[in-house]
Amino acid sequence: MGGNRGKAMTGQDIIIEAERLYDGTGAAPRHDVAVHLRDGRIVALGSPGDGGARPVLRVPVLAPGFVDLQINGAADAQFNDAPDVATLRTMAAGAARGGTSWLLPTFITAPGRAYASALDATRDAIAQEVPGILGLHLEGPFLSPRRPGIHPADAIRRPDAEDLARLCQAPPGAGLITLAPEEVGPEVVSRLAKAGWTVFAGHSEAGFDTLRGAAEAGLSGATHLYNAMSQMTPREPGLVGAALGGLVRHAGIIADGHHVHPANLSLAARTMPDRLCLVTDAMLTLEGTRDSFEIGGKRVFLRAGRLVDDAGTLGGAHLSMIEAVRNMIDLAGLRPEEAIRMATDTPARALGRDDIGRIAPGRRAGLVVLSRDLEVLGTLTDGTPVSGGAFEGLR
Q: With respect to residue 40, please indicate whether it lies within any of the assigned structural domains.
A: yes
Q: What is the pLDDT of residue 5?
A: 38
Domain identity same for 55 and 160: no
Give yes or no for residue 73 having a pLDDT over 80: yes
- Find out whether 181 and 138 touch, Cβ atoms under 8 Å: no
How distant, in Å, are the alpha carbons of 93, 102, 162, 382 from that of 133?
Answer: 10, 6, 26, 11
pLDDT band at 53 (very low <50, low <70, confident <90, very high): low
pLDDT band at 12 (very low <50, low <70, confident <90, very high): low
Residue 314 marked ligand-binding: yes
Give the residue numbers annotated as catalytic, written as ranges.
281
Domain identity same for 315 and 382: no
Interval 194-223: pLDDT, tens: 999 999 999 999 999 999 999 999 999 999
- Find out whether 93 and 386 touch, Cβ atoms under 8 Å: yes
Residue 4 marked ligand-binding: no
Q: With respect to residue 381, please indicate whether it lies within any of the assigned structural domains.
A: yes
Domain identity same for 46 and 132: no
Domain identity same for 245 and 372: no
Q: With respect to residue 4, please indicate whether it lies within any of the assigned structural domains.
A: no
- Find out whether 130 and 85 touch, Cβ atoms under 8 Å: yes
Q: What is the pLDDT of residue 395?
A: 46
Distance from C-alpha of 63 to C-alpha of 46, rounded to nearest angstrom: 15
Domain identity same for 74 and 186: yes
Backbone phi and psi for residue 393, each to the nearest 5 degrees, phi listed first: -70, -10
Alpha-helical segments (H) within 97-156: 115-127
> What angle (nearest 5°) sits at the alpha carbon of residue 44, between those of residues 41 and 48?
120
Q: With respect to residue 3, please indicate whether it lies within any of the assigned structural domains.
A: no
Residue 31 marked ligand-binding: no
Percent of the chain exceeding pLDDT 70 equals 95
Domain identity same for 26 and 112: no
| Number of domains observed in the structure of the chain | 2
Q: What is the pLDDT of residue 3?
A: 34
Residue 150 marked ligand-binding: yes
Give yes or no for residue 380 having a pLDDT over 50: yes
Residue 205 marked ligand-binding: no
Residue 129 marked ligand-binding: no
Give yes or no for residue 106 having a pLDDT over 80: yes
Q: With respect to residue 7, please indicate whether it lies within any of the assigned structural domains.
A: no
Average pLDDT taken over every residue of the chain: 94
Q: What is the pLDDT of residue 6?
A: 41
Domain identity same for 363 and 301: no
Residue 305 marked ligand-binding: no
Q: With respect to residue 344, please indicate whether it lies within any of the assigned structural domains.
A: yes
Domain identity same for 131 and 154: yes
Q: What is the pLDDT of residue 50?
A: 73
Residue 282 marked ligand-binding: no
**What is the residue type of 50?**
D
Residue 331 marked ligand-binding: no
Domain identity same for 236 and 365: no
Q: With respect to residue 172, please indicate whether it lies within any of the assigned structural domains.
A: yes
Residue 227 marked ligand-binding: yes
Q: What is the pLDDT of residue 2?
A: 33
Give yes or no for residue 40 having a pLDDT over 90: yes
pLDDT band at 390 (very low <50, low <70, confident <90, very high): confident
Domain identity same for 280 and 384: no
Mean pLDDT for the stretch of residues 327-353: 98
Residue 14 marked ligand-binding: no
What residue numbers bound the domain in which 190 lies?
66-350
How distant, in Å, are the alpha carbons of 2, 144, 148, 285, 289 from that of 294?
Answer: 27, 21, 16, 12, 15
Interval 13-29: pLDDT, tens: 899 999 999 999 999 99
Domain identity same for 384 and 278: no
Q: What is the pLDDT of residue 296?
A: 83
Mean pLDDT for the stretch of residues 272-292: 97
Q: With respect to residue 1, please indicate whether it lies within any of the assigned structural domains.
A: no
Domain identity same for 54 and 171: no
- Find out whether 75 and 287 touch, Cβ atoms under 8 Å: yes
The CATH code of the domain that includes 49 is 2.30.40.10
The CATH code of the domain that includes 100 is 3.20.20.140
| pTM assigned to the model | 0.95
Please classify residue 2 by burial: count the beta carbons closer than 10 Å to its beta carbon, then call 0-12 exposed, 13-18 middle and 19+ buried. Answer: exposed
